[in-house]
Amino acid sequence: MKLSIKPLIVILLFSSHLSYAQAEEETVETEEFKRHKLTLFAGTSWIPEGRNVETNQKETTLAPTWGYAYEYWLGEKWAIASYGDIELVNIKVEDSDANLIERENVIVFTLGATYEILPKWTAYLGAGLETDPHETIAVARFTTEYALIESNGWEAAISGSYLLKDFYDVFSIGLVIGKRF
């Protein structure tokens, strides 16, 4: 009786491959949880209630907007966050007493909470102040971000915000570049 070595070699190779795959699977490391996230924002703010500074005529205004955010993640889903923006604009807006107030290159700062709704998708709710050379007013902010790309702690995302101010509203959209550390 002649013993064939080919089936034996095939069985040995196959079984060693399976045990190697199992050993490799067991050594997969979990990624360290990074609690800090710092982002930069570049976008456009839409101010539907603006008025021209010279003519006082109503006009829809689009303002270049730059910003940052810092988030401290308490766990996988919740973070404490601060957001800051500068809207490069010079308009007038009508206050609650029908007075026209000039707004010029406003700086917005809010503190609040961020919640991860789904992987890559977060929502932020916060309150704070808007200030410029003319006046300081209260502001509430709702922001949502969706990460398009995540790699090695870096992310690129799109962001949309609604800012409810004392007497006018602002909507903004833009791109976010962030780093977790």
Q: What is the tens place of the pLDDT at every residue in 40-69?
A: 999 999 999 899 999 999 998 999 999 999
Residue 166 lies in a domain: yes
Segments of the chain scoring below 50 in pLDDT: 19-21, 23-24
Residue 91 lies in a domain: yes
Residue 96 lies in a domain: yes
CATH classification of the domain holding 147:
2.40.160.20
Rounded to two decimals, the pTM is 0.79
Number of domains within the chain:
1
Residue 7 lies in a domain: no
Query: Residue 63 is part of which domain span?
Result: 36-180
In terms of C-beta distances under 8 Å and separation of at least 24 residues, what long-range contacts does 92-98 make, across chains too?
Answer: 92/50, 92/51, 92/52, 92/53, 92/56, 93/47, 93/49, 93/50, 93/51, 93/167, 93/168, 94/49, 94/51, 94/167, 94/168, 95/166, 95/167, 96/166, 96/167
Considering the chain, what percentage of its residues have pLDDT values greater than 90? 75
Residue 23 lies in a domain: no
Residue 22 lies in a domain: no
